[in-house]
Structure formats: structure tokens, C-alpha cells
Amino acid sequence: MSHAAYRSRSLPATGNFTRKWINVLDEETADLLSFMDACNMFIDEAVKGGGAALVHCQAGRSRSATIVTAYLMKKHHLAFTEAYQRLKSVKQDVQVNRGFEEQLQLYESMLCQVDTSSALYKQYRLNKIAERYPELQQVPKDIFANDPALSSSSEVSYRCRKCRRTLFRSSSILSHPVGDGASAFSHKKSSNISGEVQCTSYFIEPVQWMEQALLGVMNGQLLCPKCCSKLGSFSWCGDQCSCGRWVTPAFQLHRNRVDEIRQLNPTK
């Protein structure tokens, strides 16, 4: 054995091998997904170097099993279910907790690569923060998208309808499956005559200009940083879209308060 990867709260005694230590608890709310790529590279380095890797956690059933499953998925292009069953066939007592199962399924959806620009990963990060809010002392700054008003881009952007201030770009939109409209929430009966359901708000990742409004509160209004007109609202506990889907956490800007701006390609 040349490499050893640990998932625990304490660092084991040193030995004559390369170590990687991940401080993660065996809890459904813990985040292992963010470490999967780095752990896969660590294991792969050991194997390609002619050695072997020991992946260890306190009980040897959940955290270590999650990382080994992720490695099998990546290395052998396997779906989560198949990779997990292969692991169980050689170690019958493994039992990945439900939270880690969902992270492995998300890893599969991202083609076994943690893509921080993916809407799936952004929503995952926000969900993890929402689970710990408001106990968090501060919201991690890396969850905020760059303020689009401070730089130019060819990407589709969205501006305040009243003052034309750029608010967010299309890459910040976090789409969700369409819900069942009013039937999804019996206390809200509104629906259009044709029966069609339409999302009347954009649900997006937080943008830098929102930072001060979000600190220390569970919900509130989102105002244009230039003209202060009301654009929408936010809630760390989540909110209902007009389509009936519940989105958690929710940062929504009403479509009738913003305009979509597309860059026109010059005619050749």
C-alpha cells in the first residue's frame, strides 16, 4: 500500500505512505461530493504508480464506501447503482447513508466530474448552506455570482425594467422541474384558463449585489441595487413557484420586473 485516504474528524498517526485526510462526518447533511474529484485523482495516482490505496473511515461502511463507489463510477464509466453493487459484492457490510447516495446520483448526473458551473451543483451547494442557515456566521462568498454590471459578456443578460441596470446572466438561472400548478398546493388555487402552467419568476443563484440583503435574515425582498424598485424575494426556507414547484432555497426575480437582453451578431 502506497496511499491512504481518511474520512474522519481526527488525523491518524503518520506512516511511510502518502496520506489524504478529509474532515467529513458520517451525516446525511455532510458534503462529500465536493471532494470526489480530488479523491479520485488521489486513488488513481496510487494505482498508476504501481501501488494501492486504502480508503478508510471510522466504521468503514459509509464515507469510505462513498468515495470508492465514486471512483468505480469514474474509472469504469458505471452508473451509481452498478458501481455500488460491485462494491457490495466484495464488502457486504457497506451502507452509504441517504445523503451520500443522493450526492453519488448527482455525481452521475454531472458525468462523474464536479462541475462548479453546473446548475445542478450550484443548487446542491445552496441546499447545503440552507440546511445550516441561520447558524452560519456568514454565507460563503463563492456562492455569489459575479455582478454582471461590473464586466461585459456576450452571454444573455437580464436588466431591471425600470432603470436598465444589469442584474444577472443566463448562467445564473437555476431551472427546476415544472410542478403541478395550483393542484400541488391546495391552499393556492390560481391557474390560467387553458390549464397551462407557467413560471412567472426566474429562480437564480445569489448575485454579489444581493449580499447585504441576505446576511442574517431568513427571507426578505430583493430590490434593484440602483433604483431600489422591488424585483422579487428570497427565502432560505424555500418558496413556491407559480408552476407549483417548491424551490429551496429560493432567490426569485419576477419576469415582469426584468428584461432579457441578447447580444446581436453583427451582419457580415
Please answer whether residues 78 and 89 qualify as being in contact, where contact means their C-beta atoms are separated by less than 8 angstroms: no
Helix axes 63-76, 80-90, angle to 10 degrees: 120
Where does residue 5 fall: left (phi above 0), alpha (psi -120 to 50 degrees), or beta otherwise? Answer: beta
Half-sphere exposure for 79 (CA within 13 Å, toward CB): 2
Does 160 participate in catalysis according to the annotation?
no
Annotated catalytic residue within 57, 199, 224, 241: 57
Q: Which residue has 430590490 as its cell numbers?
A: 223
The answer to whether the CB of 21 falls within 8 A of the CB of 13 is no
231: helix, coil or strand?
A: strand
Using CA atoms, how far apart are residues 149 and 130, in angstroms rounded to an integer?
27
Pairwise CA distance, residues 206 & 202, whole Å = 12
Write the DSSP symbol of residue 234: E
What residues have CB less than 8 Å from 171, skipping those under 6 apart? 117, 145, 155
User: Vertex 85, ends 98 and 5: CA angle to 5°?
Assistant: 70
Q: How far apart are the first and last CA of the chain?
A: 62
Q: Which residues participate in catalysis according to the annotation?
A: 57
